[in-house]
Amino acid sequence: MSRFAQRGAAILTAMLTVTLVASFAAAALWQQWRAVEVEAATRARLQAAWILTGALDWSRLILREDARAGGADHLAEPWSVPLKEARLSTFLAADSTGAGEALTDADNVFLSGQITDQQALLNVNNLVEAGRVSETGYRSFQRLFELLGLPAAQLNRLAENLRFASDISTDNRSASQAPLMPQEVDQLGWLGLPPATVDTLKPYVTLLPARTPVNLNTAAPEVIYAAVGSITLADAQELVARRSQSPFRGITDVARLMPQHASSFTEGTVSVSSRFFEVRGRLRLDALVVEERSLVQREGLDVRTLRRQRGVLEPPSAPGLPFAAR
């Protein structure tokens, strides 16, 4: 082999060696970067989970103190005031334990949340009582469906499938044929409702584990109209206007305003207090947005969590668009 050929082979070997070394170095660097990113994301989500858990405990404390004060539940109470997005550092500033120093990104973390009364909505589970379709519950949903322009056939399907899902023994049919029992409004499609109907019902209905009356102090006019069989929508709007001036302290206050409908207010479909609430908490850390929804039940001074759902939200693709759940 000539000296020039040997020199060319040596150069080629050197270039291959450099290429391999560079490839290995790049792969190692990428693996290290990926490990750092995964660790940072895991740490951020764990921190978010702990902070949202603390926010839920705070909300439960607020509801417990409200129960200690007693009286009716209405929209002028502290629990109904939403927490606008605020820096987490503002909550930790007064902390003398040094917890704020442990979270080095506290200035870049934003927390927001809200407590909402779930008895301000019609409870879908009111449609069934003791294995049968409830006449009172069905009548309320019938008025709501008529008000929203939804087909009566869909209400019949909803009530029958809910009855079947809650107590299949009454039909002598296989359990495998029964629809799944939904746990939230988005799952009402399991009972045969089309997506458009579910979207229309969302602002007015809920799914709670027990039969519940509608709270006249927090419900929308449409829900009050549906729950009280003899009033008009205008009457319901008048009640909402009256309560904004002075919350109802008892059903007798409402009956006194509309004595011609007194019997409808006292049949057990409405009240002025609530046991079920939803707590929403949202944490924003740079591009990471974590939201948690919790259903809590209050019995006396005992406030317990029945259900928790947490999800990571994606930032909007364009300004002004809402966040979408991942």
Please, are residues 119 and 214 in contact by the beta-carbon 8 Å criterion? yes
Please tell me the predicted confidence (pLDDT) of residue 91: 67
Per the CB < 8 A criterion, the answer to whether 123 and 207 are in contact is: yes
Q: Tell me: the pLDDT tens digits for 111-132?
A: 899 999 999 999 999 999 988 9
**Residues 32-42 pLDDT 10s:** 777 776 776 67
Alpha-helical (H) ranges within the chain are 3-69, 88-92, 99-102, 135-148, 152-166, 195-201, 221-227, 233-245, 251-257, 262-265
What is the token pair recorded at 269? 């479909």
- DSSP, res 191: G
Strands 122-123 and 205-206, bridge-based pairing: parallel
Q: What is the pLDDT of residue 180?
A: 85
In this prediction, residue 6 carries a pLDDT of 64
In the predicted structure, residue 92 carries a pLDDT above the cut 70:
no
Q: Which domains are present in the chain? A: 39-120+275-325 (3.30.1300.30), 125-203 (no CATH)
CA distances from 157 to 69, 121, 149, 151 (A): 43, 20, 16, 10
Element (DSSP H or E) covering residue 92: helix 88-92
pLDDT single digits (tens) 35-86: 776 776 677 778 788 888 888 999 999 999 999 998 899 999 999 999 888 8
The distance from CA 228 to its chain's CA centroid, rounded to whole angstroms, is 26
